[in-house]
Amino acid sequence: MKRALAVAAVLLLFGTTLAGCARGGQPQAVRPLVYAFHLEAKTLDPHVDDFGYDRVVQSGVYEPLMDYQPKPDGQWDLAPALAKKWEVSSDARVYTLYLQEGVKFSDGTPFNAAAVKWNFERLLALNKPPADTFRGVKFTIEEVNQYTVRFVLETPRAPFLYDLAWPLMVSPSVMKFEKNGDRAQEWLQSNALGTGPYLLKEWVKGSHITLVRNPEYWRGWKGKHLNEIVLQFIPDAQTRVLMLQKGDADLAAQIKTAPMLDSLRASEGVVVEEVPGCTMQSFIFKLRGPLQDSRVRRALALAFDYEGFCDKVLKGLGRPATGPFAGVEFGFDSRLPRFKQDLAASRALLAEAGYAGGLPSELQLQIISAFIPQQKDAAQILQSNLAGLGIKLKINDVADVSTYFRSAFDPDLNVGPDMYAWAYATRTGDPDRTMRQFTEDEIPPKGNNGGFYRNARAKELINQAISESNLAKRKQLYYELQKVLIDDPPAMYLAVFNDYICRRAEVKGFDFILAGARGPRWYYMYLEK
Amino acid sequence: MKAYVLRRLVSLLLVLLGMTVVTFVISHVIPADPARAAAGMFASAEAVEAIRQEMGLDRPLYVQYWNYMRSLLHGDLGRSILTREPVLDDLLRRLPASLELAVAGMCISLPLGLLIGVVCSQRPGGLTDVLARGVAVLGVATPAFWLAQIMQLVFYSVLGWFPAAGRIATGCAPPPAVTGLYVVDAALTGNLAALGSALRHLILPAVTVGLGSAAVIARMTRSSMMEVLKQEFVRTARAKGLAERVVVYRHALRNALIPVITVAGMQFSGLIAWLVLVEVIFAWPGLGSYAARSVLALDFPAIMGFTLLTSTIYVVVNLAVDLVYAFIDPRIRY
């Protein structure tokens, strides 16, 4: 009897593959793709939150008007999605979008101009992070006919098309779930009603989200596509690595340390692809005391050992930055001079500014290595580089985000550190939003220009570029802007970290540059047999 | 007995009240800004202010506390900033997972600890004793996260016996909720596939959780047994000609259990701390991983809720331990 029980227990433990709970038995073409993801989504409502971990699900069930698409030069183009084509007036004020005809939301509600108008009204009325793209932009929306919608702006805005490509379209029929005037926020928190290629099958809180094909999807299901997508929430990075190696996950998110990447590269059946990231890592200067002098700021920027930082600390996880643009933005120019360590030039600049023996007082640099550990290495490298020039640097490693923000963005310029670490990234592929942080309009408490940087020429260029609809001219303006921000630097542009796609070899069509910003384009992915 | 339990329950209320004050004050005086955390890194100052008002964080601390306590009396723990769901719902949804893990952990640690303890006490200083004590010291000293990773590496990565993460295979529907413990529910409903999958997922985290406290229990049992084995009644029992096994397990062990149960009770409560790390590594959707994520996101309502719940569990388990004494030792009366 005892032996029979023991045998039964062992069979139960090891024999479940037979019972259909494991994924081993299913053929490649129909088995689900498992994405080991680091964080659980907060909400599925694309007008409430659009952090990466929300967007990764939202982009399966919802679609934008246009899709961002990377060009061979690394910058982003726009491709048709729910809008099939578009026209822009020569003054960059009137944007006419022609919508795909016959598209329906998954409950059968037609997608049309009225739906687009309703979406923008909801987005702006809720005024949550996804609406940030339209902060300060004044426009009206007209339904020209059932499938044509026109946006008329008060003032010209050249990158508006890129802005329009950000929001995801929700079915207006969700209003039947509205409670206490919440515009259906509560319902959309864990339900979805979009036009996207996938439908929400289940969300097992704390465990996983499963998406299945939308049989009515307007692009159809010819060709190779995923059948089912499982986003499994695995908070521990090492666990994600093991699951990918073992084949229990097809994709693993947020693997960012050299030892883990190396161990994945050495594993059979796993592919690690390196893609240029779009986040700039910088040390921002507060323009007070000696730092008001652009020669001093340039001298500091020239003292930093960029190559050493990238080669020895990042070990290939990042590349030195060229100016204030991370590299994916419209108008980025790789021919611009790149800051390189040049201690002689640095000394000469300091002497010219009247600080031949170094600065009169110690500088404070605030970092937050709990979030970006490499900041500490960068700070220590800078500390030793500056010591050679007679400049003392004190590193203040702050433990939590809010203390950090409070002292970095204090409305009083004289409060807080002399320099602080700051990472910034474009999310639409256009540099306007990120560059605007270097104008006086964004000085705290209004915005994030904690350095109180002002440069009349830079502001003029930013304002000209925003209304310039001629792409070549606009590019030229941004070229000049990058030069200005190199000559009179608001920050030390340290490095741009790379992003990594860690996947099983059979996963195809995962397109990460976009994934970082708007979520993967699930429809174009498939598993090769 | 009844009066004693009542008295203890009243003191539980006082403890909880104290907990709310302490947690509330600590979480609100530390220089962290949940509004900024909720708004995200790149949000404008304006957006942060809007969220601060929405969360009521712009009001004086005592007003915030008063509002919190008033809702608490109505059974409302507030809404999590992170999940946007009522904290109570979140906690209740995740409680069974943690309970399952903690109970399974104890199911491993209690018998194992007792067995090792008793065996060691038989011949103190003998080879088994030295070996087992060495292992026990290692067990006490091993950090949970390290043990968890080693478990994964050996039994998942290399041997492939058990899965690395989760409570049940993602392709397998969880059994209908009766107790909320997957293994029990699957067994009750006769769902063999779910039972197998749930068991396979449970074993590695449960062993990780169990080994640490097994070591502590083993050490306690050993020293307690050695005390008892020296006493007169043991000699009498032996003199009566009782089999050694009866002497040890029926007479001595029962008398040695009181300190062991105290320790085991504390271990059970202490498991909550272990759970935070173990659940994160095994992606176990319980209270521990919820707490870890809430702390990182400065999700104060969730942190408060977690603290209240775990202090309640702590106090209730301690009470239960005190009551168990009376059953083991009839001389103890309340």
What confidence tens digit (pLDDT) does each residue in A436-471 have?
999 998 898 888 899 999 999 999 999 999 888 888
Which residues 411-440 in chain A show a CB within 8 A of chain B?
A: 423-425
* Number of CB atoms found within 10 A of residue A291's CB: 17
Instruction: Answer whether residue A196 shows pLDDT above 90.
Output: yes
pLDDT at A21: 57
Residues of B in contact with A36 (CB under 8 A): 165
CA distance B5 to B16: 16
Q: Do B34 and B296 form a contact (C-beta atoms < 8 A)? A: no
Percent pLDDT > 90 in chain B is: 15
* Number of CB atoms found within 10 A of residue A169's CB: 26
Instruction: Answer whether residue B184 shows pLDDT above 60.
Output: yes
**Winning range, highest mean pLDDT, from A382-386, B54-58, B129-133:** A382-386
pLDDT at B191: 86
User: Is this complex's ipTM strictly greater than 0.90?
Assistant: no
Instruction: Answer whether residue B204 shows pLDDT above 90.
Output: yes
pLDDT at A25: 44
Confidence of residue B32 (pLDDT cuts 50, 70, 90): low
> What is the DSSP code (8-state) at residue A110?
B
* Number of CB atoms found within 10 A of residue B217's CB: 28
What confidence tens digit (pLDDT) does each residue in A397-435 have?
987 777 788 889 888 999 999 999 998 888 788 899 899
Q: Which of A159-168, A245-254, A384-393, B53-62 has the lowest mean pLDDT?
A: B53-62
A72, burial (CB in 10 Å: exposed 0-12, middle 13-18, buried 19+)? exposed
pLDDT at A206: 87
Mean pLDDT of chain A: 89
pLDDT at A491: 96
Residues of B in contact with A32 (CB under 8 A): 170-171
Residue B110, min C-alpha distance to chain A (Å): 21
Interface check A23 vs B, CB under 8 A: yes
CA dihedral defined by B176, B181, B182, B183, rounded to 10 degrees? -130
**Taking CB atoms and an 8 Å limit, are A238 and B192 in contact across chains?**
no
CA distance A56 to A50: 9
> What is the DSSP code (8-state) at residue A442?
G
Residue A23, min C-alpha distance to chain B (Å): 7
Instruction: Answer whether residue A18 shows pLDDT above 50.
Output: no
Confidence of residue B214 (pLDDT cuts 50, 70, 90): confident
**Taking CB atoms and an 8 Å limit, are B293 and A232 in contact across chains?**
no
Q: Is the peptide bond before B259 cis (omega within 30 degrees of 0)?
A: no
Residues of A in contact with B97 (CB under 8 A): 206
Question: If you average pLDDT over residues A178-187, what whole number do you get?
Answer: 93
Instruction: Answer whether residue A189 shows pLDDT above 80.
Output: yes
Mutate to test the interface with B, among A401, A427, A437 (most CBs of B within 10 A): A401
Helix (H, G, I), strand (E, B) or coil at A494: strand
Percent pLDDT > 90 in chain A is: 63
Q: Identify the structural domains of chain B with CATH numbers, from first to last.
A: 99-284 (1.10.3720.10)
Which residues 299-358 in chain A show a CB within 8 A of chain B?
A: none
